[in-house]
Structure 1
Amino acid sequence: MGRPRTSLIDRERITTEALRLVDARGEFSVPAIARRLGVQTGSLYHHVDGRDGIVELMRERVCEAIDASMFATLPWDEALAAWARSYRAAFAAHPRAIPLLMAAPVRAPRVLEQYERAVVMLAGAGFAMGDTMKVIIALENLILGSALDLAAPETMWVVGDTALTPRLAEALAAEPEGRAAAFELALEGCLERFRALRG
């Protein structure tokens, strides 16, 4: 039987299946991807550099949804806020990938280029070079925590007997948009601190 004229697998298909597995199970394996694609496990290694390579392909795929165009067009604080919202939405679409991606160093050139643009913008806005990564990492901590929060159950506090926690029940009833409002509150808090850091 001759070889197929077109490959059954490529990096795009491998990435898609890996991300589907992670979205469903929170994990993936190279043999599981191969089974889903109907090929031998060894065939995948002709296209990717093992498990670490697949993780970076997933990172690239998730980060493709992050809009970084504002770094070149908006004032630094507006650009960071817009980037944070886009970043949060991209990772909220794949929350089970967050622990996996955060456990591996960022190596993907297309993702590193986005960080380069952020550093250039911050340096151009007057931030000391020693502060630029502190700003980015602080913002990422907020973004990724919030993205995970979006995947949590709609109701995180179940108040059965309001007599036991009456003020908590009142607070929950008073803020129906808790998650969105909390993210914006924290984001503005970060930006205020960054403005002070910039001097």
Structure 2
Amino acid sequence: MTREIELLWGLREPGRRGPKPKLNREGVVRAAVAVADAEGLEGVSMQRVARELGYTTMSLYRHVDSKEDLLVLMVDAAMAQDPPEPRADGDWRAGIQAWVSGCREMYRHHPWVVFAAVFGPPLGPNGLRWMEAGLRELVGAGLTTADAVQVLMTVSGVVRDTCRIELDMRRAAEAAGSTLAERERAHARSLGRVVTPERFPTIAAMLDDGVMTAADTAAPAAPTDDMSFSLERILDGVEVYVERQRRPEASAR
């Protein structure tokens, strides 16, 4: 991990003499993020970024050693938006909800990030700012730092995977020439042809309840618009756990 720290914090940039070059690492990363925003992660290559900048591919290697290093820098750059500030009222649940909203906004602005490989906790300056903000709220709830890390991993995983699922659904709908709402309704109709109360009683009840459909004038909620129930139950669990830890004699009964 030492190498990643040096890369993300600019500790490995060679010293230069003379005038500042027109092309620098920040410019390369900025251009790569723009390519990924427009074309997806699969569109990013050293050649493509160089073409975007109007330089040769070899020029990029003076600032970034490899595409792998470039992707590490891109992910941290995508998190440049400021995380939520500490709440004056100490409402940790509202703080986590704001943190989740910020993550969701970042993934929607840079959807390719959900497909970037994750090899561990964030190491870059922007990633660490977001990690600090999330842990701050959970520690404020009464969790130890170790427990707060576990909960933050769960919450961030839910947000990331839900955003990825939504993106996949939207891409599939666009490829079929339909909207997400139309695809949801078509999916429900298809299931209705094979699902019977005798074989799949719970799924049949779900279809009867209209969980996957909506009125023609309304669109079903996108997955990330409907995360509140899951998130609230996770936070309920944190609240109950903290309360039990404060009253060990009660939990022992």
Instruction: With the length of structure 1 as denominator, give the TM-score of the two structures.
Output: 0.79
Q: What amino acid is the match of 1:129? A: T
Percentage of pairs with the same residue: 22
Aligned mates of 2:120, 2:109 — CA distance in 1: 19
Aligned mates of 1:162, 1:105 — CA distance in 2: 39
> Partner of 1:10 in structure 2?
24
Structure 2 regions of 5+ residues with no counterpart? Answer: 1-18, 171-179, 196-203, 244-253
Structure with greater contact order relative to length (CA < 8 Å, sep ≥ 6): 1
1:178 deviates by 5.2
1:188 aligns with 2:199: no
> Partner of 1:128 in structure 2?
144
1:71–1:116 Cα change, 3 Å: farther
- What's the Cα RMSD here? 3.0
Whether the 8 Å CA contact 1:59–1:101 is kept in 2: the answer is no
Aligned mates of 1:104, 1:192 — CA distance in 2: 27
Aligned mates of 2:231, 2:241 — CA distance in 1: 15
1:8–1:72 Cα change, 3 Å: farther
1:120 deviates by 3.7
1:160–1:15 Cα change, 3 Å: same
1:40–1:125 Cα change, 3 Å: same
Offset from partner CA, 1:68-108 (integer Å, 9 cap, x none)? 21467642111011101111111122222222153576321
Whether the 8 Å CA contact 2:83–2:133 is kept in 1: the answer is no
Aligned mates of 1:189, 1:115 — CA distance in 2: 21
3-state SS in 2 of match to 1:102 = coil
Q: Select which of 158, 172, 176 maps to 1:142.
A: 158
Instruction: With the length of structure 2 as denominator, give the TM-score of the two structures.
Output: 0.64
Offset from partner CA, 1:144-180 (integer Å, 9 cap, x none)? 0222233222145324468625762733335833535
Q: Select which of 87, 96, 105 maps to 1:89.
A: 105
> Partner of 1:112 in structure 2?
128
Whether the 8 Å CA contact 2:122–2:131 is kept in 1: the answer is no
Whether the 8 Å CA contact 2:86–2:133 is kept in 1: the answer is no
Whether the 8 Å CA contact 1:76–1:122 is kept in 2: the answer is yes
User: Residues 37-76 of structure 1 correspond to what in structure 2 (within 5 A)?
Assistant: 37-65=53-81, 67-70=83-86, 74-76=90-92
Q: What amino acid is the match of 1:26? A: L
Aligned mates of 2:87, 2:117 — CA distance in 1: 24
> Partner of 1:176 in structure 2?
220
Aligned mates of 2:66, 2:93 — CA distance in 1: 39
